[in-house]
A and B are shown apart, each in its own frame.
Chain A
Amino acid sequence: MSNHTSTPAPHILPLRLYLGVGAALLFLTVLTVIVSQIPLGGWNLVVALAIASVKALLVVSFFMHLYYDHKLYFIIFSIGVLTLSVFIVLTMFDTLERGAVYDIKARPINPKAAMYDKPNFQSHGDTTKANGFAIPIDSGTTKRDSAGQANPSGY
């Protein structure tokens, strides 16, 4: 935080820093696109999120000045990140394990949609009662049969 004078002098960062951070962000953008083209299985998501997090950290630290500002603003930002993490992680604990409790079948949400008119369309569930309550889930995600499925996205 700046010193307590009546007209505070603004904290001016050097031009080189802004341009350097910008260049790093552009480099990481190209890097994440290149890495995404290499099949790494489940690690693709991890690498993509790691690169995005580094980019976010650069933006927040230098463009948004959190590295130089009073800690209070960093604490507020961290509360947001932590709340979001808890929110998403706890939700996933629930939604990923529902297959162990309920018998889940995927059904079309809108059976009249044109995509279901295709003769070779593979329906994954009971379409006769399709206007009832539909749970939009791949049949391969419940606990029972997740092991045997070919999985292109690495889950």
Chain B
Amino acid sequence: MFDAAAGHPAHLQHHFSDSEQQASASKLGMWLFLLTEMLLFGGLFAAYSIYRAWNPEMFYEAHKQLNIYLGMINTIVLISSSVTMALAIRSTQLSNRKLTVRFLVATLLFAAVFLVIKYLEYHHKFELGQLPGKYYTFTGLQGTNPHIFFSIYFMMTGLHGIHVIGGMGVISWMLYRTKRSQFSPAYYTPLEMTGLYWHLVDLIWIFLFPLLYLIG
């Protein structure tokens, strides 16, 4: 861990004066990245607001096609994965590598369950023809242009799903690095940044769930 020739810890890059400066620079960069992520999803939230304000009746009727209980289970699954992610980082802070591995595996499993449930929901809608834009062939809904709701539904949950898949990739990488003992209480910045990203993915779902599934 300590590079004797260079006179500093092995994880410390030469352009930083100390570990703390390096860690806070990473965190600053990560938060700026999360800011761009918020704005990326923000465009879709704006599209949602406009079309819901224009088509309140259609949104209300169309949202009944979503399964509230699958949505709630997925919310619970994603929140649980956020808890296990936070506990994985805490375990590394306490030098407990075995527990870190277990919590990371649990996070991956929760993420996989989320995607399986999402797959079941998508499959059902594909079968019924509740698809975006011109691919919409479902005939069970009254009102003008109900495919707009499903365009927005698939774009928002789809982009979120891609983020979940990406997050699983990064968590797997962190699992590999943890197993190779690359993290310690003195250095676990990549793990911490992965946690921040994962919590943001959870955060976005916290808003997607009531807006899409719970239109009163």
Contact = CB atoms under 8 A, between A and B. Distances in A.
A36 B185 CA distance: 44
A18 B83 contact: yes
A152 B51 CA distance: 16
B216 A153 contact: yes
B121 interface: no
Nearest to A125: B144
A92 B47 CA distance: 10
Given A9-B185, A92-B50, A18 B55 contact: no
Contact of B55 (A2, A62, A81, A137): A137
B109 interface: no
Q: How large is the interface on A (under 10, 10 to 19, 20 to 34, 35 or more residues)?
A: 35 or more
A62 B51 CA distance: 34
Contact of B54 (A41, A110, A137): A137
Given A84-B39, A84-B45, A153-B216, A140 B145 contact: no
Contacts of A21: 83
A83 B39 contact: yes
A128 interface: no
Contacts of A38: 216
Interface in A107-155: 108-110, 113-115, 117-118, 121-125, 136-141, 149, 151-155
A73 interface: yes
Contact of A8 (B23, B28, B79): B23
B107 interface: no
Contacts of B207: 52, 56
B27 interface: yes
A136 B129 contact: no
Interface string B43-61: 0011001110111111111
A114 B50 contact: no
Given A22-B79, A33-B68, A95 B54 contact: yes
A137 B146 CA distance: 11
Nearest to A41: B216
A52 B93 CA distance: 30
Given A18-B90, A77-B35, A153-B57, A59 B186 contact: no
A131 B27 CA distance: 51
Interface of B: 9, 18-20, 23-24, 27-28, 31-32, 34-35, 38-39, 42, 45-46, 49-51, 53-61, 68, 72, 75-76, 79-80, 82-83, 85-87, 90, 93-94, 129, 133-134, 136-139, 141-148, 185-186, 188, 195-196, 199-200, 202-203, 206-207, 209-211, 214-216
18 contacts: A6-B18, A12-B94, A25-B82, A29-B75, A44-B214, A45-B216, A47-B216, A59-B82, A63-B195, A81-B38, A88-B46, A113-B136, A114-B137, A117-B139, A138-B57, A141-B56, A151-B56, A153-B216
In the complex, the 9 A-B pairs of residues with the closest C-beta atoms, listed nearest first: A44-B216, A36-B214, A153-B60, A48-B210, A22-B83, A155-B56, A80-B38, A84-B42, A10-B93
Given A95-B54, A136-B55, A153-B59, 5 more contacts: A8-B23, A10-B185, A12-B90, A38-B216, A155-B56
